Structure 1
Amino acid sequence: MAKPNKKGPSKTVGVFCAKCKTQLYHYRKGGTGALVKCFKERIAKDFTIEAGVCPGCGGQFARDTLVRGTPAFKMIGGKVTSR
């Protein structure tokens, strides 16, 4: 399988915790679908202290995994919103 484009799209979206509305990332997302995974190389700005844990409420919103051989965060359903 092909690896994701390193540069990625130029459009960034804000990723927020669904529970406390704390901003987690600025992410270069491609397409219009739901946010299921975040490739680590596409994160433009990271506001988290610990990987996959919200700094505001302390809830876990993602799991660390490999997708197509590339490090990524797999989002837990309903834990994040994006704008």
Structure 2
Amino acid sequence: MAKPNKKGPSKTVDIFCSQCKTQLFKYRKGGKGALVKCFIERISQDFTKQPCTCPHCERIFARETMIRGTPALKIIGGKVVHK
């Protein structure tokens, strides 16, 4: 399979923890669908102290993985909200 586009989309969305509403990061998301995965190279601002963990409530919201040969965060369903 092809790797994701390096430049990616220009539109950014804010990703928040669904439990405590703390902002986790700003992400350049393409398309209108649900947030299933986040390619690490598309994260424009990261507010987390530890990878995949909310800085406020210490809840794990994702798992680090490789998707199409690129490092990504696989989002656990219902743990994050995006606007």
Task: Give the TM-score of the pair, scaled to structure 2.
Answer: 0.99
For residues 26-75 of structure 1, the C-alpha deviation after alignment (integer angstroms, 9 at most, x for no partner) is 00000000000000000000000000000010000000000000000000
- Within a 5 Å distance, the mapping from 1:1-83 to structure 2 comes to 1-83=1-83
Cα distance in 1 for residues equivalent to 2:7 and 2:54: 26
Cα distance in 1 for residues equivalent to 2:28 and 2:82: 11
Cα distance in 1 for residues equivalent to 2:5 and 2:16: 24
Q: How many residues align?
A: 83
What is the Cα deviation at residue 20 of structure 1? 0.2
Task: Give the TM-score of the pair, scaled to structure 1.
Answer: 0.99
Q: Cα RMSD over matched residues?
A: 0.3
Cα distance in 1 for residues equivalent to 2:6 and 2:17: 25
